[in-house]
């Protein structure tokens, strides 16, 4: 029996999890970390707090194992940027989080460069991606802009610390989200780094998702010599963990935001309006696999907002019975554009809105409309993705915290007119990281082994004629450009 530890460094917390090749129940440890909002639209993290949280959870898991760890896999919140010193190992201020919108105006200024951004990276000019965040750091913080400077995504920061500063690396999926990486040539783009005034020497070496990233040094009860052999951004890891290995296979992760990814094979497609092209993964020396992606910024976070912002519910688990206490939303439409709109709209200036309120509106109607907003945003993305690729989604595999809401998944099946499949294992992001690491070490021999391990928990088939979508489209149009 072999064991791989997956580090899942998310947006609000980190989890370390032991994954056994024979299906033995997992051992895991979780810690939340602090969210900082220094100005409207700004979101920051303390990179040191993230590292200490990862180290603590790793040590707790290792302490409960009575065997050698075969490998470590890392999956992480994407696009979040950390700058640090090689000499001291300390960050230059806070990490700028993927949700942060401080560079929205800068993206507008760069609009004439959109064609080359689309061609080389498959992305769009949006503050969501890392490139303008890095430019902002170089311009606004006192950084030593010499060989001492490291700038990377959270995976690079964690690997640097785990290896005692010996490895300054990232994987191709995280690199593909920076708006600086040419996904067809598989290297940092000289054109785009020059556009933003970023020297390539500040950026990590890019390696395949399943490959050698270095080995751990001793950190208390975490032993030295554990190979780090799997790294992928969270959504890419979830696609891998959902065993979406054939072109056309599609997953949606209902987390803080929601991210629909479709495997499109080893040929990079040309850019399509409203939809991102991204790297899905690369296994060792094999050809990279590409994906189409629809990025929805706020879904599960809207439920948190009902709890923490409006105090409509005390716990997230209350959302389903409250929403089911009414037969429909009573004409209420919630557009949770708290940090702008992602796919397929890409409007950094859109803002959250509630439409259709009357004297008869209750908190139950708002709760139901919030759940419906998650369904509607996913429908927007899937329909755009189908149009862009010419491939119809035959089924949707789902995961993430909000995927436990049966009512939502049934509505999703109705609106997409396809089966929605929920696996027994909902932590597919961590599983994907473990599988990538384990493949490199021979713990799993092939993707076929991983496909066999995927198990269905519940299938939701279309049952009713969908309603409310036309009102949603009207509400979206009225929410756009609000803050410009």
Cα dihedral 375, 347, 479, 405 in deg (nearest 10)? 20
Residue 30: its pLDDT value, please? Answer: 93
Kindly state the average pLDDT of the residues 103-121: 93
* Residue 445: per-residue pLDDT: 87
pLDDT given for residue 295 in this prediction: 85
> pLDDT tens digits, residue range 233-263?
999 999 999 999 988 889 999 988 898 999 9
* Per-residue confidence band for 481, with pLDDT thresholds at 50, 70 and 90: low
pLDDT tens, position by position, 442-471: 889 899 989 988 899 999 999 988 889 999
For residue 249, the SS3 value is coil
Residue 246 burial (CB count, 10 A): 10
Task: Tell me the DSSP string of 4-55.
Answer: EEEEEE-SSEEEEEEEETT-PPPEEEEEE---B-SSTT--EE-HHHHHHHHH
The per-residue pLDDT for range 147-190, each reduced to its tens digit, is 899 999 999 999 999 999 999 999 999 999 999 999 999 999 99
Rounded CA gap, 202 and 189, in Å? 13
In 3-state terms, what secondary structure has residue 419? strand
User: What DSSP element (H or E) covers 367?
Assistant: helix 363-389
Pairing relationship of beta strands 395-399 and 250-254 according to DSSP bridges:
parallel
Note whether 98 and 68 are within 8 A (CB).
no
What residues form DSSP beta bridges with 121?
Answer: none
Beta carbons within 10 angstroms of residue 338's beta carbon: 18
Higher model confidence: residue 350 or residue 287? 287
| Average pLDDT estimate for 42-65 | 94
Q: Is 442 exposed, middle or buried (0-12, 13-18, 19+ CB in 10 A)?
A: exposed
Q: What is the pLDDT of residues 318-328, one digit of tens each?
A: 889 999 999 99
Q: Mean pLDDT for the chain?
A: 91
The DSSP result for 100-156, as a single string, is --TTHHHHHHTGGGHHHHHHHHS--S-TTSHHHHHHHHHHHS----STTEEEEEHHH
- Domain 3-234: what homologous superfamily? ATPase, nucleotide binding domain (3.30.420.40)
């Amino acid at each position: 029996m072999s064991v791989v530890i997956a580090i899942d460094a998310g947006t609000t917390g980190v989890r370390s999890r032991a994954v056994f090749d024979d299906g033995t129940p997992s051992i895991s440890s979780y810690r939340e970390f602090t969210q900082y909002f220094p100005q409207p639209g700004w979101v920051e993290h303390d990179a040191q707090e993230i590292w200490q949280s990862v180290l603590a959870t790793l040590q707790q898991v290792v302490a409960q194992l009575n065997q050698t760890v075969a490998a470590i896999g890392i999956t992480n919140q994407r696009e979040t940027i950390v700058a640090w010193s090689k000499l001291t190992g300390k960050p230059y201020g806070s990490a700028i989080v993927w949700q942060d919108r401080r560079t929205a105006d800068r993206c507008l200024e760069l609009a004439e460069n959109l064609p080359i951004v689309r061609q080389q990276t498959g992305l769009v000019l949006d503050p969501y991606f890392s490139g303008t965040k890095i430019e902002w750091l170089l311009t606004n913080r006192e950084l030593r802009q010499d060989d001492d400077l490291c700038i990377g995504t959270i995976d690079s920061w964690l690997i640097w610390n785990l290896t005692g500063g010996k490895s300054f690396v990232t994987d191709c999926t995280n690199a593909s989200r920076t708006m600086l990486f040419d996904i067809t040539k598989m290297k940092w783009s000289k054109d785009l780094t020059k556009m933003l005034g970023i020297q390539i020497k500040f950026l990590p070496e890019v390696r395949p998702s399943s490959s050698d990233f270095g080995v751990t040094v001793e950190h208390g009860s975490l032993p030295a010599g554990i190979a780090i052999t799997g790294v992928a951004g969270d959504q890419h890891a979830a696609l891998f963990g959902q065993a979406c290995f054939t072109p056309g296979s599609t997953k949606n992760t209902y987390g803080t935001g929601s991210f629909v990814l479709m495997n499109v094979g080893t040929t990079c497609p040309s850019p399509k309006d409203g939809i991102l092209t991204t790297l899905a993964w690369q296994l060792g020396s094999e050809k990279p696999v590409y994906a189409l992606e629809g990025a929805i910024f706020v879904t599960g976070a809207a439920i948190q907002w009902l709890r923490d912002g409006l105090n409509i519910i005390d716990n997230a688990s209350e959302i389903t019975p409250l929403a089911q206490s009414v037969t429909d939303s009573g004409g209420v439409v919630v557009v949770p554009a708290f940090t702008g709109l992602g796919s397929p709209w890409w409007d950094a200036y859109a803002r959250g809105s509630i439409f259709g309120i009357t004297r008869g509106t209750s908190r139950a109607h708002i709760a139901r409309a919030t759940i419906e907003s998650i369904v509607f945003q996913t429908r927007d993305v899937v329909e755009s993705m189908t149009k862009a690729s010419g491939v119809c989604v035959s089924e949707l595999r789902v995961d993430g915290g909000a995927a436990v809401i049966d009512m939502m998944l049934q509505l999703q099946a109705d609106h997409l007119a396809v089966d929605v499949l929920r696996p027994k294992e909902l932590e597919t992001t961590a599983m994907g990281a473990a599988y990538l690491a384990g493949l490199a070490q021979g713990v799993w021999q092939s993707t076929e082994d991983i496909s066999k391990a995927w198990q269905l928990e519940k299938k939701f088939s279309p049952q009713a004629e969908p309603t409310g979508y036309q009102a949603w489209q009207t509400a979206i149009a009225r929410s756009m450009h609000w803050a410009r």
